[in-house]
Amino acid sequence: MRRMGSHFAFGPFVLDSGAGTLLRNGVSVAVGYRALKLLAALVERPGEILGKAELMDAAWPGTAVEEGNLTVQIAQLRKLLGPASNGGQWIVTVPRVGYRFTGAIEQLGGAKRIPLPLPSKPSIAVLPFVTVSNDPEQESFADGLTEDLITELSRTSGLFVIARNSAFAYKGKAMDVREIAQDLGVRYLLEGSARRAAGRVRINAQLVDAVSGDHLWAERFDRSLGDIFAVQDEVTAKIVEALLGRLRAPPPRNRPKNLEAYDLCVRARRLMDDSPQAAQEAHLMLTRAISLDPGYAEAYRWLAMNHWMGWVHSGGPTEPTRSVALELARKAVAIDPNDAGCRWILAYLLAYERSFAEAEAEFAKAIELDPNEADTWAALSDIAVLAGRIDEGLEYIRKAFRLNPFPASWYYLTLGQAQYAAGEYEAAVETLRRDETYRTSSRRFLAASLAQLGRLDEARAEAELFLVGNPHFTTRHWAMTEPFRDAATLEHFVDGYRKAGLPE
């Protein structure tokens, strides 16, 4: 749970120096570690002149650095903050002495959370449905119900829907709904319980307005297990009606005909990002699901994604896994052309085949089908950056983070890559050193970022660690396999790899 350390507001910004975050109008700003330390030192004492030695000690404690480093960091901060409301600068230079912060500061309470601004459309998070027993099968069933409700609501263009990964961050936690809604930046929460037994399914669901605390809708369902998907559709329709005052259903998705196949898919999805061993177990489950229900699109989709994640973990795609994944993704889209998840996975794979026009068409269709699918925006960011559309890439990954504030680790890798491409090396280092993403596959970008900052010893250490897990890596082969479309962007990455000492 994110609680405030030293929490300051100025202009459109909110600085939480304890958490190491800076928001502009509620949206996270990419800022490097040193710059954030300098900004914190300045805003904690607004109007005071802070000497250069004092500021350098705040940003580089116990380290002897050149004064030029301070000048560079202050210049970057000024560029990032832009002009103050009076047209002047937030940070002014006091010649031969130091710097002074000129803005009006509001210090916020130490226990208060950083509120994300509410979207312009009705916003909702579906909290994990609970069960009354410790039976793993009951838990898996409740998780599957939660995920399907998120997917169905997400496909309604008039809603803003928080992604699964972030909703499940609250699983098993007893928290006030208002706290959760503030953390996620939504107004409404759907919560409930689920149980299946003796061929029956019992579901309790309620829709809560987290601002007023009112219950907008609540209902209990007791149906045959075979009606589970009809119940999901009914719950979705009633929530949409409550929030939008109308019923306009998106195109229907393909549903499984075999409940065992459905259960296998739910269990496999929980395993896929854990480890290579867990991914192999997921592979077996998904293969079994397809054998039980050959017309179940989601099983093909997740199996394709499992192959894709296999090459992310190993540091790059290989021809056999890529071709198998592409075939599976095409099969998923053929079975269910209305599933945005199937579409974006196909789009991503097509980009690696350098079928860029087809890939862009699939990305566009995925967004049309489900504008709330955070994974689509994150994957599109990756492809946009490699095409040289770096500002677009940064915009897409930030949109993905807003829809999915507690995402999977690959979001951070994608953000770090975009920050490197934009020349935001300090920000990239901070992103890529987070616990969520600090793993073998991200170290090549971390090494390149450190090298561009002139921190060559650190860069080479990271490169060596990367090569332990990727002993056959060469920059030449990597450049050939990644779907670059912009020569300058490619050369920028190659330059960083070369400086970091990665083999050519």
Greater model confidence, 306 or 248: 306
Cα separation, 187 vs 119, whole angstroms? 9
Q: Give the model's confidence band at 221: pLDDT under 50 very low, under 70 low, under 90 confident, else very high.
A: confident
The per-residue pLDDT for 1 is 26
3-state secondary structure of 110: coil
Kindly report, residue by residue over 7-53, the tens digit of the pLDDT.
Answer: 788 888 888 776 667 888 767 777 777 888 899 899 888 888 898 88
182-186, 370-374, 440-444, 461-465: range with lowest mean pLDDT: 440-444
The per-residue pLDDT for 314 is 45
φ/ψ of 471, rounded to 5, equals -65, -20
The per-residue pLDDT for 315 is 46
Listing DSSP states for 444-485 in one string gives HHHHHHHHHTT-HHHHHHHHHHHHHH-TT--HHHHHHHS---
Across 424-438, average pLDDT: 78
Two tokens, residue 358: 């087809």
Q: Give the model's confidence band at 6: pLDDT under 50 very low, under 70 low, under 90 confident, else very high.
A: low
Phi-psi label, residue 21: left if phi above 0, alpha if psi -120 to 50, beta otherwise: beta
Cα separation, 186 vs 270, whole angstroms? 25
Helix (H) or strand (E) holding 248, with range, is none
**Is the confidence at residue 266, as pLDDT, over 80?**
yes
The per-residue pLDDT for 83 is 86
The per-residue pLDDT for 112 is 45
Strands, DSSP E only, in 257-347?
none
Q: What's the burial of 210, exposed, middle or buried (CB within 10 Å: 0-12/13-18/19+)?
A: buried
16-25, 294-303, 359-368, 467-476: range with lowest mean pLDDT: 16-25
Kindly report, residue by residue over 204-220, the tens digit of the pLDDT.
Answer: 889 999 988 888 888 88
113-122, 304-313, 384-393, 394-403: range with lowest mean pLDDT: 304-313
The per-residue pLDDT for 2 is 34
Q: What's the burial of 287, exposed, middle or buried (CB within 10 Å: 0-12/13-18/19+)?
A: middle
Average pLDDT, the chain: 85
Q: Does residue 215 contact residue 207 with C-beta atoms inside 8 Å?
A: yes
**Is the confidence at residue 159, as pLDDT, over 60?**
yes
The per-residue pLDDT for 436 is 56
Cα separation, 439 vs 378, whole angstroms? 19
The per-residue pLDDT for 248 is 63
Across 281-303, average pLDDT: 94
Greater model confidence, 217 or 322: 217
The per-residue pLDDT for 329 is 96
Kindly report, residue by residue over 363-390, the tens digit of the pLDDT.
Answer: 999 999 999 999 999 999 999 999 999 9
Two tokens, residue 478: 């990597």
How many other β-carbons are positioned within 10 Å of the β-carbon of residue 60? 16
Selection from 399, 377, 414, 407 nearest residue 166 by Cα: 407
CA distances from 235 to 119, 241, 294 (A): 23, 10, 27
**Is the confidence at residue 480, as pLDDT, over 60?**
yes
The structural domains of the chain, ordered by start, are: 7-108 (1.10.10.10), 123-244 (3.40.50.10070), 256-371 (1.25.40.10), 375-504 (1.25.40.10)
3-state secondary structure of 492: helix
